[in-house]
Structure 1
């Protein structure tokens, strides 16, 4: 069943593109369902675009008449093309209906993103440690770094599928530094991470990025690439921070 907030349905809000209702940014369950519905809709739109292009292709031009005095009637070929086009339309309808059925039943998707759901998003909806959802209070309580930044350099290590990504941090959620003069607790403005390219497909220098790094590890277990995906995750993080301050990691 779809989550509601002040009478607004998370799924229908994603489908219609309406703004989130007042106070929804503080409702973690509503935000999570809205985020999953957004991802499903993006995949369906991509499939519909591919189907539309296929249906819009003009029929193949007639082949030149062969030199032989007798040639087959063109009628069977036109009929074969019509049958093929009809079959494609049926397959298209089935694909769309199956996708909408999954969406309306409340099914969610993981992000990555997708070929770039949202221009290359590769966000994983759960961290590797214990299946805790990124942005939740439990995740934040056990994180050493949650921050946004810009990818200033993306380098492939020779002979591998590994990327060295340099981020220039622009907004740090964790660790929180209450005093601007505090020493030792503020993270370096430049962070360097090494990750397989399949984790962040299509990332390029200049892309906005949001990362989450658990305590006790060096590399992020969560990446979001692209402003649209980051905006959804940002809302979850900011809504969960007050509760996270009251928790201890354990």
Structure 2
């Protein structure tokens, strides 16, 4: 579970990128986090993961405060960023072993999971190649494999399907469903609204740093008294200054 309480962040000291955000991402659900460009979505994710400091408020992951207990909080989640261009000079297998070392994944478990996951995602044959030679989709797959390697309770996925081929995209979505069936957490950010409508149990929409909606699709349609698509409701919610 992720708890965001009264969180505020500003870059210039004037306009707030995130303004007094309160949000609970529960266990056992795929939680979709939506917003137009510049809405505060990426800022929120970077505060959750500890990349950016929080100006005001608190964020906890599985009970660990990300500011007061950053190591324990980081052990509890796996993060797929929207740009998977990291550790490019490492070979794929070097990167995965690096992740395995950080999270103390036993050698036997690690080897089995690396083989299984990379074969599932179709990158097993390129593990000895530098990541800088990978396509965008392959880089995305190696990052996702690294996240799954240590089996964190909380998945934080920022545009994880970008660049994935249809088979890998389907596989990851099934993994997300299976993860929540085990009572664990998936926090999922994307611009592809059809995927959110198909996949997510609960949706939050942020705009201009302020939470505009939080609930499931039936709540949303009841609130807006419409049978329209998520796309139509999203545009209605966010089409203002």
Shorter-chain TM-score range: under 0.3
Greater fraction of residues in strand: 2
TM-score normalized by the length of structure 1: 0.21
Larger Rg: 1
Higher relative contact order (CA 8 A, sep 6+): 2
